[in-house]
Amino acid sequence: MRKKLTATSVNRLPVPASGQKEYPDPDLPGFALRVTSKGMRSFIMHYRPRSGPYKGRLTRWTIGRLGELSLALARQTARDARIAIRDQGADPARDSRYNEPEDGPETYEKAVQDYHTKYQVGKKGNRTADATKRLLRKGGADWLHKPLAEITRRDIHDVLDRIMAEKKSYLANRTHAAFRTFFKWCAGRDKIAFSPCEGVERPFDGEKPRERHYSDEEIKALWRGVDKLGPHRSVFVKPALLTGKRRGELAGLTWNELDLEEGFWTLPASRSKNVREHKMPLPSLAVRVLKSLPRIQGSPLVFPSRKTGRPMNGWNKFQLAVEDACKPEDGGKPQVVGFTFHAARHTLKTRLGALGVPPHVKDKVLHHSPPKTAGEAYDHYDYQKEQREALEAWSDHVKAVVWPEGVEALRG
């Protein structure tokens, strides 16, 4: 049986283990106290507008937080609102008389910035925070100055349908995921009554995990073909094949991270995806390739952008240029189709397995976070010797593929 909310009980009602729980007041239909797993207590009201574009839609309106107003005031506000809904066709969750701050309603753009600052960066510390912000701004480009509370499920569908019509199904799924997390956060922060993404399914269900890896024929075509691209771009591709490093980590490589005499690359935690330093042994072929690269005066970067001096970028054009460089001179069938740098990681892991390298050593080479099972997280041995042996074995295989006539024919 529901118990009436009292000035004492609203402070003592249990906090849920996760999510949020609502405690309805039986004396006032739709009125309730919502308690989140973080201990936040807010007075809310459920109702259905009797007119306007949201007529008949179940709506949750956050009246205010406990502490900012008393139970008595929240209950009276809810009573007054119900009368206004019935007699005046009011919609409190969207009516400026109830919700609009002095500087106007919160816009989508402002909410995205708030989400980026307080959640993506402030709470999660995501390395992808800026990319997520760009995705939200691009997907919601038509809503930037629109009040956040006015964005509807139809708006979400329109954006996703447009991206699908452009045959960008993977981007549609990424945009859907970004919207879903963003609007859920907004609802949790009481910026909106509910997420417009509720009930919106992922637009593309044919997405497959990335399984692409390169054959020996493709490796040979890549190694020889990229020499047409100029020294920096050609050298970039070769260490990517030999080390399987993420393209962003390789693009930001600085000369002081390299010890080419001892054959090591020390990736600092600040540039690592999993925020862990990685001292990686470089196979002799990778050392030879890197030593052949001229340094750009005044730049600490091994692979600076030609225009800005920042780390190399423009990956889509770069990858297409690699494919073009690998086409036969007689105009025959392309030797490398669908080139991506991430496939180099798949190639390395796949080939190391074929060479008999144990899984835990492969994970060290690829700099994966240690699993939290079977005590692996407690293993602090760096496996430097085993990593070097694995990478040299892979390097030897690449040499045999690219120069089948013998290592003495190696030209760089």
Q: What is the pLDDT of residue 408?
A: 47
For residues 136, 138, 141 and 143, what is the CA-based torsion angle, rounded to 10 degrees?
-10
For the domain that residue 30 is a member of, what is the CATH number?
3.30.160.390
Q: Are residues 135 and 262 in the same domain?
A: no
In Å, how far are 5, 111, 301 from 106, measured between CA atoms?
31, 7, 42
Range of the domain at 386: 216-409
Classify residue 159: in a domain, yes or no.
Answer: yes
CB distance 95 to 127 below 8 Å = no
Classify residue 2: in a domain, yes or no.
Answer: no
Q: What is the pLDDT of residue 151?
A: 92
Please state which of the ranges 118-122, 154-158, 277-281 shows the lowest mean pLDDT: 118-122
CB distance 182 to 112 below 8 Å = yes
For the domain that residue 400 is a member of, what is the CATH number?
1.10.443.10
pLDDT digits (tens, 9 = 90+) for 38-82: 888 999 999 999 888 888 889 988 888 887 778 888 898 899 889
Q: Are residues 275 and 245 in the same domain?
A: yes
Q: What is the pLDDT of residue 382?
A: 81
Q: Are residues 93 and 113 in the same domain?
A: no
Q: Are residues 67 and 143 in the same domain?
A: no
Q: End of a domain among 37, 72, 99?
A: 99
Mean pLDDT of 205-218: 76
Q: End of a domain among 99, 124, 153?
A: 99
Mean pLDDT of 4-22: 89
Q: Are residues 158 and 268 in the same domain?
A: no
Please count the structural domains in the chain: 3
Q: Are residues 118 and 222 in the same domain?
A: no
Q: Are residues 278 and 405 in the same domain?
A: yes
Q: What is the pLDDT of residue 406?
A: 66
Q: Are residues 39 and 128 in the same domain?
A: no
Q: Are residues 266 and 225 in the same domain?
A: yes
Q: Are residues 252 and 314 in the same domain?
A: yes
Q: What is the pLDDT of residue 192?
A: 86
CB distance 120 to 129 below 8 Å = yes
Q: Are residues 315 and 228 in the same domain?
A: yes
- Euclidean distance between CA atoms 319 and 351, whole angstroms: 22
Please state which of the ranges 197-201, 287-291, 313-317 shows the lowest mean pLDDT: 313-317
CB distance 282 to 243 below 8 Å = yes
pLDDT confidence band for 97 (50 / 70 / 90) = low
Q: Is the pLDDT of residue 85 over 60?
A: yes
- Euclidean distance between CA atoms 140 and 129, whole angstroms: 16
Mean pLDDT of 194-210: 80
Classify residue 129: in a domain, yes or no.
Answer: yes
Q: End of a domain among 99, 129, 161?
A: 99
Q: Are residues 267 and 393 in the same domain?
A: yes
